[in-house]
């Protein structure tokens, strides 16, 4: 992941490069934990917005979700983080139903069920 920041008013610029992008960020979050699997990475373009997501569960009970919009950290989250959590819950429930782990009519997972050990990074970029 490469960021080039230019402050035209002050005439300053900065360049940042992260080998491996948000996958590296998630792996770094988990560096002192035991990961449950290799990091999962997804990238998709939607109507002038590029969305990248990296997910990796670990052996802790903490949830860490780092989010960025147009290279700016959004530590308080936002609608993109809410949407990510809803999509994660729906995806896990759909997969569990497909496997037969959840029968029709049974309660599935709720968002809080999927928080323990979650390390994730979200990046939304206007294109």
**Residue 96: in which H helix or E strand, if any?**
helix 79-99
DSSP 118: E
Specify the CATH number for 2-126; select among 1.50.10.10, 2.30.31.70, 3.40.50.1950, 3.30.230.10: 3.30.230.10
Q: Is the pLDDT of residue 16 over 70?
A: no
Q: For 70-111, where are the E strands, in sequence order?
A: 72-73
Phi, psi of 121 (to 5 degrees): -135, 135
- pLDDT (tens digit per residue) in 62-84: 999 999 998 888 888 889 999 99
Domain boundaries along the sequence of the chain = 2-126
- pLDDT (tens digit per residue) in 29-75: 999 999 999 999 999 998 899 999 999 999 999 999 999 998 888 88
pTM score, whole prediction? 0.80
Cβ 17 vs Cβ 9: under 8 Å: no
Cβ 120 vs Cβ 53: under 8 Å: yes
């Amino acid at each position: 992941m490469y960021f080039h920041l230019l402050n035209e008013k002050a005439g300053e610029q900065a360049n940042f490069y992260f080998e491996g992008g948000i996958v590296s960020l998630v792996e770094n979050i988990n560096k002192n934990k035991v990961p449950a699997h290799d990091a999962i990475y997804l990238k998709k373009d939607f109507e002038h917005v590029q969305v990248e997501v990296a997910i990796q569960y670990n052996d802790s009970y903490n949830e860490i979700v780092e989010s960025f919009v147009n290279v700016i950290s959004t530590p308080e989250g936002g609608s993109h983080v809410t949407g990510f959590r809803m999509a994660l819950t729906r995806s896990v429930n759909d997969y569990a139903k497909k496997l037969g782990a959840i029968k029709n009519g049974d309660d599935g997972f709720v968002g809080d069920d999927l928080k323990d050990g979650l390390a994730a990074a979200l990046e939304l970029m206007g294109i």
